[in-house]
Structure 1
Amino acid sequence: MNIKEKKIELRRQAEAVRSAITEEERLRKSEIISEKLLKRLEKLLKPDPTVRRKPTLFTYMPVKTEVDVTPVLEACWKRPWRVVVPKVIPAYKQMKLYEIKSYVDLERGNWGIREPVAKAPQLFDIRQIDVVIVPGLAFDLRMGRLGYGGGFYDRFMQQYVRTGLPKPYIIAAAFEEQLVDEVPMGLFDFRINELVTEERCLTEGGAVCRE
């Protein structure tokens, strides 16, 4: 099997595993994960007196059986942080980022995913992003990530590679069931910095990070 075929098969398996988690369990675990994420963000998004802008978080809007990170959003809105979420542009296979300050700034978009409304302010300078919370189907202890196959996040991260800019700190929110032995990684796939599940908080090599 080549890498593309391996990814397709792993996506099928990972989708089935995550879908098998009951809604009650998913909500319970999501709540625990959100609490852990918030503790990490409190440390990672500390305001820098030498920088004028607000600490900035780029996060996803959960859909279907993904980890529900909306409690993180709600907590962020009460803090001196800027929150940006993506709007998918299918024709160009890109994501554009917009700042949201409440649920009023969101509407249903492609694939039923909540996206920023048209009047939301757009973030053009990716250097201003400090932390990214990414979704995914499967992850491994080497911080490999298996996405959904659209390549939107991979293309976004490639902007940093092409321009030589340092990437923001990348955290994945996942259920413990989503951990696998190995995620097949291609040339343009990116690795995360940290994985947060309902049971643990991991960095590369399986090291447990402090919350």
Structure 2
Amino acid sequence: MTIEERPYINMNIKERKIELRRQAEARRASLSAEERASKSALICDRLLERLDAWPGMTTGGQARRRPTLFTYMPIKTEVDVTPVMEACWERRIRVVVPRTYPEQKHLKLFEVRSYDDLERRRWGIREPKRHTAMLHDIRDVDVALVPGLAFDLNMGRLGYGGGFYDRFMQQFVRAGWGKPYIVAAAFDIQIIREVPMGMFDFRIDEIVTESRMISPSS
């Protein structure tokens, strides 16, 4: 029985998410290292083709400030999006990466100019070192490239359960600000029939896989 077909009779949304996370992690881990590498390369090619089309990411012409990309550092079986970060460094696009604070259950963004600005912290994830410059105004983020375990065609996202990204996006909602353009890089096998969405979960603006680009209009 696949992720899409498994029934959820008598499960609440929290239980459904727990079950989906277990299945989604196993499914993504079923890809060999070679498959993940080749598919990640295809996904990054698509992301880079889309880079200039994303809101606020133009670096030439009448650009009045440096565009800002908020990206994650991949771990384990996630899509390796680091080539996108490297391309942004070459194009003078500011790159900010989250540093997590589990005690407060939130994240803050810091500018990363090279791999030397990163260190391995909790869960083996590379995060900005303390000396890097913090992004104080999150409204400067033009595009957020976010991780996730599974996604659906209604632009729903299944995260890892920590709520860090949901709380970050809620800052925009509470302040009445427009959110950045939110992009997800995913393998085709991460697209499922339906992601159960809670009140504070956010939706994606664009999903890029190795074979297609998914948006609300598509």
| TM bracket, shorter-chain basis | over 0.9
Range that drifts further, 39-48 or 53-62: 39-48
Query: Deviation string for 1:61-114 (max 9, x for gaps)?
Result: 000000000111111110021000000001100101000111011110111000
Question: 1:204 corresponds to which residue?
Answer: 216
Amino acid of the residue matched to residue 59 of structure 2? P
* Secondary structure, aligned partner of 1:72: helix
Seq. identity, %: 63
The 3 A distance-change label for structure 1 pair 79 and 51 is: closer
Q: Which runs of 5+ in 1 are unaligned?
A: none
In the TM superposition, residue 38 of structure 1 has moved relative to its aligned partner by 1.2
| Count of aligned residue pairs for this structure pair | 206
* Secondary structure, aligned partner of 1:54: coil
In the TM superposition, residue 50 of structure 1 has moved relative to its aligned partner by 6.3
* Secondary structure, aligned partner of 1:73: helix
Please tell me the root mean square deviation across aligned C-alpha atoms, in Å. 1.2
Question: 2:185 corresponds to which residue?
Answer: 173
1:54 aligns with 2:66: yes
1:68 aligns with 2:83: no
* Secondary structure, aligned partner of 1:7: helix
Q: Is the 8 A contact 2:98 2:128 kept in 1?
A: yes
Question: 2:199 corresponds to which residue?
Answer: 187
Superposition misfits of 4+ residues, deviation over 3 angstroms: 47-52
2: CA distance, partners of 1:35 / 1:74: 13
Amino acid of the residue matched to residue 102 of structure 2? P
Question: 1:36 corresponds to which residue?
Answer: 46
Question: 1:21 corresponds to which residue?
Answer: 31
1: CA distance, partners of 2:62 / 2:210: 35
Q: How does 1:36-115 map to 2 (within 5 A)?
A: 36-44=46-54, 45-47=57-59, 52-115=64-127
